[in-house]
A and B are shown apart, each in its own frame.
Chain A
């Protein structure tokens, strides 16, 4: 394993028994986990290769409890790793041995719904799907829809500024959060925004969304909900090559159409998904697009006809417009099952670069070359409308050498994304995974500015330690409080 983790503080490890009993006194029975079997559940997230047993785990039930825990940890100098459902793909919830994991999963209530103002207020341990379910009968939904939406929490969505397949039209988490209640590391409870839009004053919500749990622990959020379209329907289009599929995406957008989703899969991805889900994907195609539009039946038909006409200009191998709910579900089934499908044939490492769309074929060629160099197969799934590429690197986790090669392969791919004018992460976050790559995208001054923002909220750097910023860059900030 090539990514360094930070060293635990021996002083804290020695005090473990005292810390656990202090926490038990503070919280209701069963809210503190300290035995090894229980801790195992919290030793990492969906960044599978890395595991660390935390000092202890707490499961608070209220903002007041979160505040009490943080106040205590602040006084004792104990580091805290906030955690939702642990679905981070970048190691965002990876513990350290001297850190307390603070899981928000017990705080999962809907607090308030107002359809007239189109808002919902929730505790942040609620899952993404549960938020939409709470308002779906009335025809509303929460727009961000990450692939892990059944499991992942709103708190995690805020931390990673989560997106999903449909954010091309409706935006990512930061565009759909109106207000938060947040506990600072010293236990202080602050609120930003609220049920209203665009208050004057500094935009703290912009900083909090995507801050990977490093500024505070968000315990409540007011979210914008949207009335769902009358209907939605996808068309599946096969192309001879990735290049022609990419050009088709550009042509659709140039025509002034913004579909709700444009998903791209390359040949290896098609093959794996088709074998698993039997979604009817064209195995002879070099790439395929799933383009979804919404509106009334007539509006959908008109938009799909236009997209079909555009696609015809790029020598499609197949155009399959869904004619029914069942067909739509089948078209999406393969894409949605992609990760399960790939997990069936091999261990995989999914990374998350973003590129300008015009660079797609360059990026895919580079990825193929990098894969060959490391003797690893790479399948590509891509939110094509917004340039968010998810290369999936297949490897054998039991083979230490192959695992290291997979990491190197991912790293090289992300460097290519930055070089092509893109960025390291579109929706997974930097976490531990891409921490040392930050210098590819930002210089020292840029990174120092971000770290000074972190210090405003958490001057002792106790919250979600060892992430986002290169360890060496963090040193001066940590020295200051030593």
Chain B
């Protein structure tokens, strides 16, 4: 194999052969699909030897789909859109509503997220708060570990405690433990209809409180978001973008009669938070597509948009218990004036843009969030910054030892995306 070369195996066997060869040569690999999320993580530690690029983009195709059993298997390089179209034809969906992280970065022509990339990033969107994360839907996987061995874990059935749940653990590992070749997921039926309740102008404390109140009802609110005015201005619907005030939105999904009932009950229970507006099925779907697309923090596509956004600012993804969300942001904005935050998952997921600083304010931000048992991931920053700071939340030494041990157990020669998540891992 050659350094600085791109490799596109066409099947698992070829993938296996390439990894085995790289392993024997000690050649570091950038593991990817279509590279749409390549900017997330630290630059690879490739030492004196340059790395090669190993993409699963040509290992494609749905290998199993049984709508009546709620199960789908596909090769890792299968474009996500292909899977979603197929599911849609059967009125089903990926319930975790994969978040379109790729929109946060400049992309080449027709760069499309692959299933492997979505799972490797554990990219869960708005519906995560009700239905669970990408990792919750992983039933099984086939993958090639850093020694070039094919490993399989889990299966195609809904429940499985036969041995350790390695397939699920590959979710969120960013290709640094093993290269997934095929993934089996649980899928769910789509709801018939959607409706969204909207508050305007709520301050963030009240918004988080409204979202948590809604999540505490039995009405199965399937997504919540709170956007400050600066983020509302970036919404794709001009009517919404022009509102010039914050938006707090709650989504209901069910059959028609049920929606009517649930919306009515929520109106009553949430009255203390202020006037409630409603988006009907069509506008509701458009609204949440926009949230899922992360357009409120996305890389601008035109100069005119660029004027509206500050997407050159460092972007952080913070997760925290919802009851701490507003407090955490208050502490943060006191120290980092000008920061702006969007709250998903009832306040449990906060996207924060912070004013440019040499270390993307990593030191200060991590010091502040330490009091709130939160986790912060630096999603977007200048390459020099990403190389210099901890991109993933630094953890106590005991955890780091296990992290290094796990890496060793899968990839002893450290050839799969070395250093992408942690220094020396």
Partner-B contacts on A (CB < 8 A)? 114-119, 139, 160-161, 163, 167-168, 171-172, 174-175, 184, 188-192, 194-204, 206-207, 209-212, 227-230, 250-251, 253-254, 256-258, 295-296, 298-299, 302, 354-358, 383, 385-388, 421-430, 434, 438, 441-442, 445-447, 449-450, 452-457, 468-469
Contact = CB atoms under 8 A, between A and B. Distances in A.
Contacts of B398: 184, 188-190
Given A115-B216, A453-B409, A200 B172 contact: yes
Contact of B165 (A197, A210, A298): A210
Interface string B162-187: 11111011011100010000000000
A386 B158 contact: yes
Contacts of B122: 198, 203
Interface of B: 66-71, 91-92, 122, 124, 128-129, 132-133, 135-136, 145, 149-153, 155-166, 168-169, 171-173, 177, 188-190, 192, 209, 212, 215-218, 254-255, 257-258, 261, 317, 319-324, 345, 348-349, 373-375, 377, 392-393, 395-396, 398-399, 402-403, 405-406, 408-410, 421
B124 A206 contact: no
Contacts of A357: 68-69
B68 A358 contact: yes
Contacts of A228: 218
Given A196-B373, A229-B218, A456-B408, A119 B321 contact: yes
Given A114-B321, A207-B166, A202 B406 contact: yes
B195 to A, nearest CB: 15
Contacts of B403: 201-202
Given A256-B190, A456-B405, A227 B161 contact: no
Contacts of A115: 216
Contacts of B136: 171, 174-175
Nearest to B150: A445
Nearest to B395: A201
A197 B153 contact: no
In the complex, which of the residues A116, A163, A203, A230 has the most CB atoms of chain B within 10 Å of its own CB atom?
A: A116
B8 to A, nearest CB: 25
A228 B219 CA distance: 9
In the complex, which of the residues B156, B168, B217, B403 has the most CB atoms of chain A within 10 Å of its own CB atom?
A: B168
Contact of A171 (B132, B215, B348): B132
A175 B212 CA distance: 20
A211 B161 CA distance: 8
Given A421-B156, A428-B161, 4 more contacts: A198-B135, A202-B172, A227-B218, A425-B161
A456 B406 contact: yes
Contact of B69 (A119, A171, A189, A253): A253
Contacts of A139: 218
Contact of B68 (A253, A298, A457): A253
B135 A446 contact: no
Which 5 residue pairs of A and B lie closest in terms of their CB atoms, listed nearest first?
A386-B158, A256-B189, A199-B375, A456-B405, A426-B159
A294 to B, nearest CB: 8
Nearest to B412: A452
A480 B372 CA distance: 42
Contact of A421 (B145, B157, B158, B261): B157
A357 B218 CA distance: 30
A298 B254 CA distance: 13
A438 B159 contact: no
B259 to A, nearest CB: 10
Contacts of B218: 139, 227-230, 295
A446 B375 contact: no
A41 B136 CA distance: 37
B399 A422 contact: no
Nearest to A444: B149
B164 A453 contact: yes
Given A196-B374, A425-B162, A449-B166, A201 B393 contact: yes
Contact of B164 (A167, A168, A207, A295): A207
B264 to A, nearest CB: 10
Contacts of B324: 117, 195
B146 to A, nearest CB: 11
A356 B157 contact: yes
B71 to A, nearest CB: 8
Contact of A196 (B177, B216, B321, B406): B321
Given A302-B257, A455-B409, A116 B216 contact: yes
A69 B227 CA distance: 50
A202 B177 contact: yes
B166 A453 contact: yes
B152 A354 contact: no
Given A206-B169, A230-B218, A298-B261, A449 B410 contact: yes
Given A198-B128, A227-B216, A302-B257, A446 B161 contact: no
B133 A197 contact: yes
A450 B374 CA distance: 30
